Amino acid sequence: MARLQLKNVNKRWGSYVAVKDFDLDIADQEFLVLLGPSGCGKSTTMRMIAGLEDVTSGEIVLGGRNVNNLEPKDRDISMVFQSYGLYPNLSVYENIRFPLRVRKVPKEQHHEMVMTAIRMVELEPFMDRRPADLSGGQRQRVALGRAIVRKPTVFLMDEPLSNLDAKLRVSTRAQIKNLQSKLKTTTVYVTHDQIEAMTLADRVVVMNKGEIQQVGTPTEIYDNPANTFVASFIGSPAMNLVEGRIEGGTFTGDGITVEGLKAPSGPVTLGFRAEDASIVPSGGQIAAPVYAVELLGEASMITWRLGEQLVSVKTAKDYRAETGQMVEASVPAAICHLFDAETGKALPR
């Protein structure tokens, strides 16, 4: 069983706090994604799990055993890095075999174990090639095969797709998801890409400035963000956020008025998703000149500048409007989220 627990884990370098009070229980076979901007502490958290960084305080428990003081080699963890870390003088076969040699697995077991991993990452036609003769996607699959071959208790993946182009990211992402479903191995995956997080994860941990902002399924964090940071980080485009005031259940901000909201009077931030609002001929909650029109392929994006804020709404791909044209949008109260203007925390809906 590969249940992984982080109990009030902290990491400090002098006065700098990289990770603060990280408390999380990761279930056996779960695919967990740590998501956040650069410098938020997600890679540091992963490196502490791996044993590459010491824990300042708190506990890391794997399979019921405290591993704080164990060397990385003794934690039964495989890690896939952003850089492929392949040996240029070794073939694909020998690169994948290398961990078995290091761990002194009996030689008679090597071929079957290596070929199983090679088949899983679909590299049979390339197993005699060296890394220089492979594409970026193929090299990353070699790194995945090397992690798979010795059947670790936990996989750690640190931005494994960031060196790939957009097309390869999509195909390799699907392969990672498929592999994890077959291997049923507990996986912790680090990324700053919210699309990767949403498509891969069983649960997502959104981090900022070393602290957990929200933990939940992709659907939970998308539909009910805990604060304005999560709302602005999750989604493509991110949730529209407009500052204003509520008086008597009516929100008023620059260029927008929404009635029928249930919240105390005072300053708030109103949020709504671009795909939940709609363009209307008249009577909309937004009525302003168009700032930009973008064709996305499957839809068009209409953007307004409301005061200092840009607000977008998705509409049909064949919709046409000119910059500066007055266009209205329906933003009903039912689609709106409200956040405390001071703390950024979500208010009850």
Measure Cα distances from 164 to 3, 171, 186, 288, 330 in Å. 31, 10, 24, 40, 39
pLDDT per position in the chain (349 positions), as tens?
A: 689 999 999 999 999 999 999 999 999 999 999 999 999 999 999 999 999 999 999 999 999 999 999 999 889 898 888 777 788 999 999 999 998 888 888 999 999 999 988 988 888 999 999 999 998 888 888 988 888 888 889 989 888 888 777 777 888 888 888 888 888 889 999 999 999 999 999 999 999 999 999 999 999 999 999 999 999 999 988 999 999 999 999 999 999 999 999 999 999 999 999 999 999 999 999 999 999 999 999 999 999 999 999 999 999 999 999 999 999 999 999 999 999 999 999 999 8
- For residue 31, the SS3 value is strand
Q: What angle do CA 45, 47, 48 make, to 5 degrees?
A: 65
Is the entire prediction scored with pTM above 0.85? yes
Residue type for position 151: K
Q: Which residues contact 110 (CB under 8 A, 6 or more apart)?
A: 97, 100, 101
Q: Show the domains of the chain with their CATH numbers.
A: 4-230 (3.40.50.300), 237-340 (2.40.50.140)
Cis? peptide before 131, omega within 30° of 0: no
Residue type for position 226: A
Q: Give the up-direction half-sphere exposure of residue 103: CA atoms within 13 A in the CB hemisphere.
A: 21
Handedness of CA 167, 162, 190, 85 (dihedral sign): positive
Q: Per this entry, what is the length of the chain?
A: 349
